[in-house]
Structure 1
């Protein structure tokens, strides 16, 4: 916080006390002749009226200040409370209430003239002659009232502009959400039209090969390709469901539990990987979003092993914590160097974004023995 902001806050905190002191001191100075007409009343009574005017200046309700203004003017011919009351009336009052205040101020001014005539002397000369009474009414009531009206109108204008800016900002955000939803829906349609079609053809041809092939190895490979393609279609439908749901379709996401990790490990073993799964902690209910994120972490880790170290031993460990799940995929060095498949290197980038959006942490890097370690901590929150 800057020094200026600190000073402004301190001033705002002490403003009510300063205002009360100013009104009380001005009322006292006016009644004792320093700023206005000297009152012949006892100083104790003047002090009581001055203190009451100061207290009314910071009262939560409006009528104590109006009463103090009327008493101060009629008893002491003191104007500070009346000036403040007129200013606040201009800021806060409108319509009939403002007209009622003006009528009441006019009645008090006429009563003040009558009191001045009755008291005589300096007070009659200052407050009860026609020209002086009119001038005092303008200075004490009209000018502060006009200033309050101007400030109130300015506040109303600023509030209207602020509301309009907020409304425009909300409309822009809604428009951006609609555009993003439309783009997601377009991507979902294109993925369905292109990718799903190609993968479906692959599954169909693999199934035909499985039926017509004579060699057991070919049949086994075709069955593996068909099951992998069907799993890819399931994953693709899940992605399309996410896109459609974010686009406002309301299509529910397919359930994905931690049991799907077993299916990933079974597929990887069928593809020739040596995978060992270990669980630590006490498993409990896991929200669907958390399970999907853990599933993706394990899937990405096993995919990278198949690409870059297909002959390495792999350990998949799920550690159940009170506030989350830690998923670890670790592999040793590859027994067949040079067998790695090409990759774009974007899988870990997208996975890191997904885990961080879930409020978790992800780390990935080589180990001292030449292997690779992928570790993700996913907090236990519903990420549907």
Structure 2
């Protein structure tokens, strides 16, 4: 039997977790390995990666600016920034522009002469796909899901408002019916009392 567990982390944790991961793991790796990063300097690569990692902390508030900063950083900050941008903006022009820029950034640097080798060609295709296209697709899916949930919530709110309005109208109609019945009954009783009083007066006079 499979159990499906849904764990919702606090928002500060989800905001800071990618930045903390990049700072604690990827920045030291970039400082030691010159191949990790867009330049040949490990110090510059580590600084760019740290900048991109720190920017991830405010990606919900400034998704496009963070994505622009992450273009100069490592692959993980860029992937997280692209996901956040697509999840916030949806299928609009801004994520499309960043998709093109991210594809160019993730495919660079490479030696065009190495494309004759299958392994090199796979590497050139792999990074834009894994760190660019996949996060964008997941972000767009999250955006569509959020819109669908919001539409369902609005629909439920309207249905609930319509139900309350119908109940109020039914209650008002019932009160009006009871008022009419009470009016008819009271009018009939008052008429009978008046007739009886008049008859009593006539009998007393006789």
Higher RCO by CA contacts (8 Å cutoff, separation 6 or greater): 2
TM-score band w.r.t. shorter chain: 0.7 to 0.9
Give the equivalent residue in structure 2 for 1:28: 27
Q: Return the offset for 1:142.
A: 0.5
Give the counterpart of 2:149 among 147, 151, 158.
158
Give the equivalent residue in structure 2 for 1:84: 80
Return the TM-score normalized by structure 1.
Answer: 0.43
Q: Which range is displaced more, 50-59 or 180-189?
A: 50-59
Return the TM-score normalized by structure 2.
Answer: 0.74
Q: Return the offset for 1:209.
A: 4.6
Partners in 2 of 1:207 and 1:21 — Cα distance? 97
Q: Return the offset for 1:17.
A: 3.1
Q: Which residues in structure 2 correspond to 1:33-182 (within 5 Å)?
A: 37-38=35-36, 40-43=40-43, 45-59=44-58, 60-72=61-73, 78-92=74-88, 93-109=90-106, 112-113=108-109, 116-117=110-111, 129-182=120-173
Q: Say whether the 8 Å CA contact 1:65–1:85 is kept in structure 2.
A: yes
Distance change >3 Å, CA 89–CA 212, structure 1 → 2:
same
| Count of aligned pairs between the two proteins | 189
Q: Say whether the 8 Å CA contact 2:71–2:78 is kept in structure 1.
A: yes
Partners in 1 of 2:47 and 2:135 — Cα distance? 25
Distance change >3 Å, CA 142–CA 33, structure 1 → 2:
farther
Q: Return the offset for 1:61.
A: 1.0
Q: Which residues in structure 2 correspond to 1:1-384 (within 5 Å)?
A: 11-32=10-31, 37-38=35-36, 40-43=40-43, 45-59=44-58, 60-72=61-73, 78-92=74-88, 93-109=90-106, 112-113=108-109, 116-117=110-111, 129-203=120-194, 205-206=196-197, 209=200, 213=204
Give the equivalent residue in structure 1 for 2:4: none
Q: Return the offset for 1:15.
A: 3.4
Partners in 2 of 1:13 and 1:108 — Cα distance? 29
Distance change >3 Å, CA 32–CA 48, structure 1 → 2:
closer
Distance change >3 Å, CA 207–CA 28, structure 1 → 2:
farther
Q: Return the offset for 1:134.
A: 1.5
Q: Which range is displaced more, 79-88 or 147-156?
A: 147-156
Report which of the two has the higher share of helix. Answer: 2
Partners in 1 of 2:184 and 2:177 — Cα distance? 11
Distance change >3 Å, CA 197–CA 46, structure 1 → 2:
same
Partners in 2 of 1:30 and 1:70 — Cα distance? 18
Partners in 2 of 1:132 and 1:8 — Cα distance? 35
Partners in 2 of 1:8 and 1:105 — Cα distance? 29
Unaligned runs of 5+ in 2: 1-6
Q: Return the offset for 1:138.
A: 0.2
Q: CA RMSD in A?
A: 3.3
